[in-house]
């Protein structure tokens, strides 16, 4: 029996303000699952024409699935958010690309006809659960030399990338990091970043109640001179610093996906249309190159070329991995199509949540750029992977070829 695939659309995306991980961060005494609940509730509030019982699935990602990030997070967060008990949910883990995979997985179900509407997102509370907490890597990885010892330390893999591509210098990485901070600050000042943020009530035993309304990590006054003085914690006289890499952060994201005809039926907006996606594996020791083969795979499967992409949202886990991607595809470090509102070096990278942040920003940029037809979200993934999702702008005002 032939089953034609349905078009899948990104309806809306939201996120909490991102915080700094640790005892002084804004979410130090806030539960991770409550951050997710806040995103789900906000998606329903912003889309009142969607009956809650029309949500067919809730997929929420977390890298460290223990404590307040455990217990089948998609299902428990759905219940806590007040969705009907008939709405199922599940948790997902692909390290940094958790939320991205939550989107591609549920979108595939929508395309196939298993779902009409889904909520996908992710959370990481790195203050409560540092990366790798409770993990027991199989000793065979090192004893049988399946991977090098550096493969399990993300900062070390970034240093390896500098070794492999020596023209990607520390100074060049620092310059990219400064630009990220500057673009983010300009985007906030211009009102581009802010409307997608969900205010979160926070609690501190010492300071009492508060309200998180803005991102905590950005350092708008960053200079190359200041970055040049930072220590390199992953290697003496290395290249990777706290200034040219994303920090340790807390935060959650969520988005609403639907079949295009269902979105029309329910009166939901269409922020962008899914074109295709690709995931690829690479050497774990240089996981930062992952977005290169995943992008090549996604482009090949959709019949597009890199020249067709008018906007890039690339996760800035480390400046060097973005630079490797740009060099491979012949894109300048300061190309205006790349992360026009800054990236994770400025705003933060709460691991499994970040994929939907990229998508939400791209969707909002599409609304302002009817001259752009296609955009791309991509990220490197721990243990040697990359993920890429290609989107089409429904506001494109060009002519079909």
Determine phi and psi for 152, rounding to 5 degrees.
-95, 5
Nearest alpha carbon to residue 391 among 292, 323, 299, 293: 299
Selected catalytic residue, list 39, 129, 239, 380: 380
Q: What share of the chain is helix, strand, coil (3-state, %, to 5)?
A: 35, 20, 40
The number of angstroms, rounded, from the C-alpha of 257 to the middle of its chain's C-alpha atoms is: 16
Annotation says 96 is catalytic: yes
Annotation says 380 is catalytic: yes
How would you label 171-210 residue by residue, b for 16+ Cβ within 10 Å and e otherwise? ebbbbbbbbbbebbbebbeeebbeebbbebebeeeeeeee
Nearest alpha carbon to residue 351 among 317, 384, 376: 317
Count how many residues are written for the chain: 401
Selected catalytic residue, list 39, 96, 125, 255: 96
Distances (CA, A) of 36 to 57, 61, 161, 200: 15, 10, 34, 10
Annotation says 349 is catalytic: yes
Residue 307's CB is within 10 A of a number of other CB atoms, namely 10
Return the sign of the alpha-carbon dihedral for residues 238, 243, 244, 246.
positive
Whole-angstrom distance, CA of residue 210 vs CA of residue 370: 39
Selected catalytic residue, list 128, 162, 239, 349: 349
> What residues are annotated to the active site?
96, 349, 380
């Amino acid at each position: 029996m032939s089953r034609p695939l349905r078009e899948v659309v990104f309806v809306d995306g939201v996120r909490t303000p991102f915080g700094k991980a640790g005892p002084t961060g804004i979410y130090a005494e806030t539960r991770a699952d409550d951050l997710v609940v806040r995103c789900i509730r906000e998606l329903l509030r912003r889309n009142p024409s969607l009956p809650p019982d029309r949500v067919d699935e809730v997929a929420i990602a977390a890298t460290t699935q223990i404590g307040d990030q455990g217990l089948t997070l998609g299902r428990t967060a759905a219940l806590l958010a007040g969705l009907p008990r008939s709405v199922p949910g599940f948790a997902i883990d692909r390290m940094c690309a958790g939320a991205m995979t939550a989107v591609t997985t549920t979108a595939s179900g929508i395309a196939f006809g298993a779902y009409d509407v889904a909520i996908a997102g992710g959370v990481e509370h790195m203050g409560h659960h540092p990366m790798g907490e409770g993990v027991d890597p199989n000793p065979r990885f090192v004893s049988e030399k399946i991977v090098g010892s550096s493969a399990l330390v993300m900062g070390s893999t970034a240093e390896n990338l500098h070794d492999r591509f020596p023209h990607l210098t520390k100074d060049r990485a620092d310059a990219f990091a400064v630009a990220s901070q500057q673009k983010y600050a300009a985007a906030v000042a211009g009102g581009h970043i802010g409307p997608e943020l969900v205010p979160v009530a926070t609690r501190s035993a010492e300071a009492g109640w508060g309200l998180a309304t803005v991102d905590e990590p950005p350092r708008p006054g960053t200079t190359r001179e200041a970055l040049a003085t930072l220590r390199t914690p992953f290697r003496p006289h290395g290249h990777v610093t706290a200034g040219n890499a994303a920090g340790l952060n807390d935060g959650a994201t969520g988005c609403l996906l639907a079949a295009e005809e269902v979105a029309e039926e329910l009166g939901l907006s269409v922020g962008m249309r899914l074109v295709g996606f690709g995931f690829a594996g690479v050497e774990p020791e240089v996981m930062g190159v992952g977005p290169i083969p995943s992008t090549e795979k996604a482009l090949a499967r959709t019949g597009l070329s890199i020249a067709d992409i008018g906007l890039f949202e690339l996760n800035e886990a480390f400046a060097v991995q973005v630079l490797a991607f740009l060099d491979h595809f012949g894109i300048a470090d300061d190309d205006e199509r790349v992360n026009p509102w800054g990236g994770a070096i400025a705003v933060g990278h709460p691991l499994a949540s970040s994929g939907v942040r990229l998508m939400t920003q791209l969707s909002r940029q599409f609304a302002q750029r009817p001259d752009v037809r296609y955009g791309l979200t991509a990220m490197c993934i721990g243990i040697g992977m990359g993920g890429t999702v290609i989107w089409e702008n429904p506001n494109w005002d060009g002519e079909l070829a």
